[in-house]
A and B are shown apart, each in its own frame.
Chain A
């Protein structure tokens, strides 16, 4: 039983027991409560930007732009010293390498708050880290290291979900042994003499971890996408990609030469409409049928903190016979009761997903990427992937680190450390999100995602937040344009299993302090306990 707010009859499919509502006034999110595909409530929220805040943000950018033009003018007419690097004298009559307007944003906005990024660290990027202290004599144009180190800064920015970024313990010991035995480099590609026995061991382990037939590993996560999507798709194929997909997925899709169509973020109606159009009408103009259709989605979207609606996508994929490529860069190891990613989180069958891709950088404390799936798929990639033929394979100690940490998560090393960490991560996530929500900040994303974006909106607050948090010994990540839409700048926290309750409490107190100082508590929902009277909570409480 479900409540459908508007009556619409497009695409009702009674035989499978699903009800798809595409039409006037249908809200995207209420499907979560009404379809029987989800075993537990799927609660995501993206609270709207308050109008006053939006207006002030635009005004802020406007003022910065005017000042930017003024400063450019002063620099051109030599009233102000120009710190920018200049072209060589001998090459002054060449076509300019950069157009002035391309770098306007970099020169005038990014430079002012540049000290919030590229902060060098001097220790393990664990729950606490040591930052190298930097000072700038000329407003962020150059930095000098004072030689001092800021010790024990709480790390809320590194992708260390299960806390495997450590320099002691079984993982580090195993990696050390491997370094002594194998060395660090490989000096060859997989198809030549770069295929070590360690790689084969890792591939078998990854296949077992994911529950697929076979898998292949690559040296870089970004390159896994940009080199394998072109090997699978070509001209005459269609790629349906989510609006907010990562740059590597976009690059891979572009390099493949296939037609790309974008659907709204996590919006199943938009995806269904595109699929329907594609199958019924075929290729544009010629109306020939498409060779293959591939849906590109991510497990957790790192800028929004949202989780993909996997059960619905799988149902759609089966109906329209499309293929699914799931990029689990952030969700592998971080979601699910056994840490097997978003498939485990929803309790689905890994065989339903055609291509499972992920990276080892986030939850395994290492580097590299993998693709898992049926044996035919992986055999094909062994022959045709650009990485197998031209790129160097993974370094042996990196491989060993993944093997040890994966065995730990699976519980095969004889301890319950993996399971403990998984529980700790999900507890930390729930606690952190609940507290931030109670404080009155606008938090985006799913309640279970360890990536927590906190909205800042105004450009000046981006810089202020980063600096104030550092003063209180907490390292945070702030993101602005162009990684996010121009008025939706945010601070992004990554909760880790290595964070203890005290660390989270310290961080939360500091965030609350800074939030009061900078007036960041924008949320208009009811804070203490009950969520408020919006539609989502009504449906949740009436779920059957």
Chain B
């Protein structure tokens, strides 16, 4: 109403007159400031580059990338591979020379087994060669399900899962469980596939000295102190220890009972990689858990590849269903890759059958390993690295020349000398720049169940002669 409005206006004017001077001045300044802000130009960030169009075109013209790959010298020692004609069986033909095979990981001699070949053939006649799809999309064959059941039964665990490539097995398993922010304690001698799995997982990785339980305990204690500082965070960070049963780089066995004790003391889960020890250690070939008599449920995940003792292709993980089932949806190498060709799965099943029917071969293999280890002791200039039970030991130079290339040349000369005398050996290969803890150069000597005493003696003799001749 007009009268009410007028009355309010009068009140306002009155308040205006009665206000103290400083109040009016302050209000006036604030109003002026607001008006200035409203009307001033917005603050522009300086343009990222002051280049003109012409200069930009010139930059595009001038830029030269590095060549896609650096030049490789034509006479690089590893460039020409040794060519194997025919199957890499006990009698192998390398570069045209027939030799006795001391280089392929054919521990149980199943590569030449007629039974395995027949089974693979019958599977080929039924299913064809490839699977044409990943496991989720009509790539699951009943042979895969059978192989998974058989592996789980053999290892006495609840469940097993198969991968189509040995390298991808542990490299997909680790990132499925360990994510950014989790902590993994790894042995320094861990193989390359474990290192790739750790890199893909983006977790914190802490290395402890090879097989040194005190170093591991020190790291675990440090972590415990960290946890006490921040208990809320500690309740969600997962912790893992990743070890190998039989290390491929160092050829010795991990101390599993101590690890299990540490597991329960510090509440860490254990992932065990058994590629070299599956089908080798233990009374029935079940690996390092059987060797030490450790309860298999104490190990959270066992991963192995089927490319060594089982002489097939692929890999598997086994453990409790609680752990393994997770990989069916989050293991990258499982979900996004074609499944294992059924003939290879059938070959693996038959190999398992042979292993189960005749557990005596593991004893035979272990005896042969011990024999070979003893025979190679005392080679002048070379030291035998590895435990007596290991089927794949390393021969390293006792006194290195100082440069890795020269060491490799000397070892290659020994290998060539042996090849001429019908013993097939090989250099242990590594990616020099990519390995975290590069092992020293070595020759790999593999013991298989098919080698006879004479052949092993001959090999040891040959290596001794070569060492004397070349390393004098």
Chain A residues proximal to chain B, CB less than 8 Å: 85-88, 90-91, 93-99, 106, 110, 117-126, 129, 132, 155, 157-160, 164-167, 171-172, 175-176, 179-197, 200, 219-223, 226-227, 232, 246-248, 251, 254-255, 276, 279-281, 289-293, 319-323, 354-355, 359-362, 364-367, 376-377, 379-384, 386-387, 389-392, 395-398, 401, 475, 477
A-B pairs with CB below 8 Å: how many?
351
A247 CA / B113 CA spacing, docked (Å) = 37
Q: Which residues of B contact A248 (CB under 8 A)?
A: 332, 336-337
A220 CA / B269 CA spacing, docked (Å) = 30
- By the criterion CB–CB under 8 Å, are A281 and B48 in contact? yes
Q: Given A179-B124, A367-B131, A380-B69: A197 and B83 within 8 A (CB)?
A: yes
Q: Which residues of B contact A121 (CB under 8 A)?
A: 138, 140-142
- By the criterion CB–CB under 8 Å, are B138 and A185 in contact? no
B92 at interface, CB cutoff 8 A: yes
Q: Given A183-B89, A365-B132: A117 and B137 within 8 A (CB)?
A: yes
Offer 18 A-B interface pairs, CB within 8 angstroms, sorted by A.
Answer: A88-B297, A95-B236, A95-B267, A117-B136, A120-B141, A122-B142, A167-B127, A184-B111, A184-B120, A186-B88, A220-B164, A251-B200, A254-B200, A281-B49, A319-B60, A367-B130, A376-B72, A397-B343
A355 CA / B68 CA spacing, docked (Å) = 10
Closest chain-A Cβ to B173's Cβ sits at a distance in Å of 13
B101's nearest neighbour on chain A, judged by CB, is A193
Select A221's contact among B200, B338, B347, B427, beta carbons within 8 Å: B338
Q: Given A85-B322, A191-B81, A367-B164: A219 and B313 within 8 A (CB)?
A: yes
- By the criterion CB–CB under 8 Å, are B87 and A362 in contact? no
B85 at interface, CB cutoff 8 A: yes
- By the criterion CB–CB under 8 Å, are A88 and B320 in contact? yes
- By the criterion CB–CB under 8 Å, are B164 and A191 in contact? no
- By the criterion CB–CB under 8 Å, are A289 and B313 in contact? no
A188 CA / B105 CA spacing, docked (Å) = 6
Q: Which residues of B contact A93 (CB under 8 A)?
A: 267
Which of these binds chain A: B11-19, B188-196, B373-381, B450-458?
Answer: B188-196
- By the criterion CB–CB under 8 Å, are A125 and B133 in contact? yes
A339 CA / B235 CA spacing, docked (Å) = 56
Closest chain-A Cβ to B149's Cβ sits at a distance in Å of 12
- By the criterion CB–CB under 8 Å, are B337 and A321 in contact? no
A39 CA / B248 CA spacing, docked (Å) = 55
- By the criterion CB–CB under 8 Å, are B83 and A200 in contact? yes
Closest chain-B Cβ to A114's Cβ sits at a distance in Å of 10
- By the criterion CB–CB under 8 Å, are B49 and A172 in contact? no
Q: Which residues of B contact A119 (CB under 8 A)?
A: 138, 140
- By the criterion CB–CB under 8 Å, are B431 and A386 in contact? yes
- By the criterion CB–CB under 8 Å, are B137 and A477 in contact? yes
Select B87's contact among A122, A172, A183, A320, beta carbons within 8 Å: A183
Q: Given A125-B138, A179-B343: A279 and B60 within 8 A (CB)?
A: yes
A364 CA / B49 CA spacing, docked (Å) = 51
Select B168's contact among A85, A132, A220, A359, beta carbons within 8 Å: A220
Select A181's contact among B48, B87, B139, B142, beta carbons within 8 Å: B87
Q: Which residues of A contact B429 (CB under 8 A)?
A: 189, 191-192, 389-390
Select A120's contact among B66, B140, B168, B312, beta carbons within 8 Å: B140
- By the criterion CB–CB under 8 Å, are A193 and B430 in contact? no
Q: Which residues of A contact B308 (CB under 8 A)?
A: 187
Select B84's contact among A98, A106, A193, A320, beta carbons within 8 Å: A193
Chain B residues proximal to chain A, CB less than 8 Å: 48-49, 51, 56, 59-60, 63-72, 76, 78-79, 81-89, 92, 94, 101, 103-106, 110-113, 116-117, 120-121, 124-133, 135-142, 144-145, 164-168, 177, 191-193, 196, 199-200, 234-239, 264, 267, 269, 297, 305, 307-308, 310-313, 320-323, 325-326, 328-329, 332-333, 335-338, 340-341, 343-344, 347, 424, 426-431, 434, 444
Q: Which residues of A contact B430 (CB under 8 A)?
A: 389
Select A367's contact among B48, B237, B338, beta carbons within 8 Å: B338
- By the criterion CB–CB under 8 Å, are B322 and A86 in contact? yes
- By the criterion CB–CB under 8 Å, are B269 and A222 in contact? no
Select A361's contact among B103, B132, B312, B427, beta carbons within 8 Å: B132
- By the criterion CB–CB under 8 Å, are B117 and A175 in contact? no
- By the criterion CB–CB under 8 Å, are A247 and B332 in contact? yes
Select A383's contact among B72, B125, B336, beta carbons within 8 Å: B72
B322's nearest neighbour on chain A, judged by CB, is A85
Select A184's contact among B139, B238, B344, beta carbons within 8 Å: B344
Q: Which residues of B contact A226 (CB under 8 A)?
A: 168, 196
Q: Which residues of B contact A251 (CB under 8 A)?
A: 200, 332
A119 CA / B136 CA spacing, docked (Å) = 7
Closest chain-A Cβ to B177's Cβ sits at a distance in Å of 6
- By the criterion CB–CB under 8 Å, are B168 and A382 in contact? no
Q: Which residues of A contact B145 (CB under 8 A)?
A: 120
- By the criterion CB–CB under 8 Å, are A392 and B138 in contact? no
- By the criterion CB–CB under 8 Å, are A255 and B200 in contact? yes
Other A-B pairs, 20, CB within 8 Å; known A121-B142, A247-B332, A292-B66: A85-B321, A91-B269, A95-B236, A124-B126, A124-B127, A184-B111, A184-B117, A188-B104, A219-B165, A223-B165, A251-B332, A255-B196, A255-B200, A280-B56, A376-B68, A380-B72, A391-B167, A395-B341, A398-B129, A398-B341
Q: Given A94-B267, A118-B135, A165-B132: A181 and B86 within 8 A (CB)?
A: yes
A110's nearest neighbour on chain B, judged by CB, is B329
Q: Given A232-B68, A392-B313: A289 and B111 within 8 A (CB)?
A: no
A177's nearest neighbour on chain B, judged by CB, is B121
Q: Which residues of A contact B59 (CB under 8 A)?
A: 279-280
Most buried by A among B94, B111, B239: B111
Q: Which residues of B contact A475 (CB under 8 A)?
A: 138
- By the criterion CB–CB under 8 Å, are B81 and A123 in contact? no
- By the criterion CB–CB under 8 Å, are B60 and A292 in contact? no
A485 CA / B104 CA spacing, docked (Å) = 46
A124's nearest neighbour on chain B, judged by CB, is B128
- By the criterion CB–CB under 8 Å, are B79 and A379 in contact? yes
B163's nearest neighbour on chain A, judged by CB, is A220
A164 CA / B104 CA spacing, docked (Å) = 32
Closest chain-B Cβ to A454's Cβ sits at a distance in Å of 15
- By the criterion CB–CB under 8 Å, are B76 and A383 in contact? yes
B295's nearest neighbour on chain A, judged by CB, is A90
Q: Given A167-B124, A200-B83, A392-B313: A377 and B164 within 8 A (CB)?
A: no
Q: Which residues of B contact A87 (CB under 8 A)?
A: 322
Q: Which residues of A contact B70 (CB under 8 A)?
A: 380
A131 CA / B29 CA spacing, docked (Å) = 84
Q: Given A97-B238, A254-B200: A157 and B129 within 8 A (CB)?
A: no
Closest chain-A Cβ to B55's Cβ sits at a distance in Å of 9
Q: Which residues of B contact A176 (CB under 8 A)?
A: 121, 124-125
Q: Given A159-B133, A191-B78, A197-B84: A322 and B165 within 8 A (CB)?
A: no
Ranked nearest first, the 7 interchain pairs of A and B with the lowest CB-CB distance are A185-B311, A220-B165, A380-B69, A85-B322, A222-B337, A391-B167, A195-B81
Q: Given A192-B444, A195-B82: A97 and B200 within 8 A (CB)?
A: no
A325's nearest neighbour on chain B, judged by CB, is B68
Q: Which residues of B contact A365 (CB under 8 A)?
A: 128-130, 132
Q: Which residues of B contact A98 (CB under 8 A)?
A: 326
Q: Given A125-B133, A222-B333: A179 and B120 within 8 A (CB)?
A: yes
- By the criterion CB–CB under 8 Å, are A129 and B138 in contact? yes
Closest chain-B Cβ to A459's Cβ sits at a distance in Å of 17
- By the criterion CB–CB under 8 Å, are B338 and A361 in contact? yes
- By the criterion CB–CB under 8 Å, are B136 and A123 in contact? no
Q: Which residues of A contact B103 (CB under 8 A)?
A: 188, 192-193
Closest chain-A Cβ to B295's Cβ sits at a distance in Å of 10
Q: Which residues of B contact A160 (CB under 8 A)?
A: 132
Select B320's contact among A85, A124, A179, A361, beta carbons within 8 Å: A85
Most buried by B among A122, A124, A227, A323: A124
B48's nearest neighbour on chain A, judged by CB, is A281
Closest chain-B Cβ to A443's Cβ sits at a distance in Å of 19
A401 CA / B87 CA spacing, docked (Å) = 16
Q: Given A187-B111, A376-B69: A197 and B85 within 8 A (CB)?
A: yes
Q: Which residues of B contact A389 (CB under 8 A)?
A: 192, 429-431
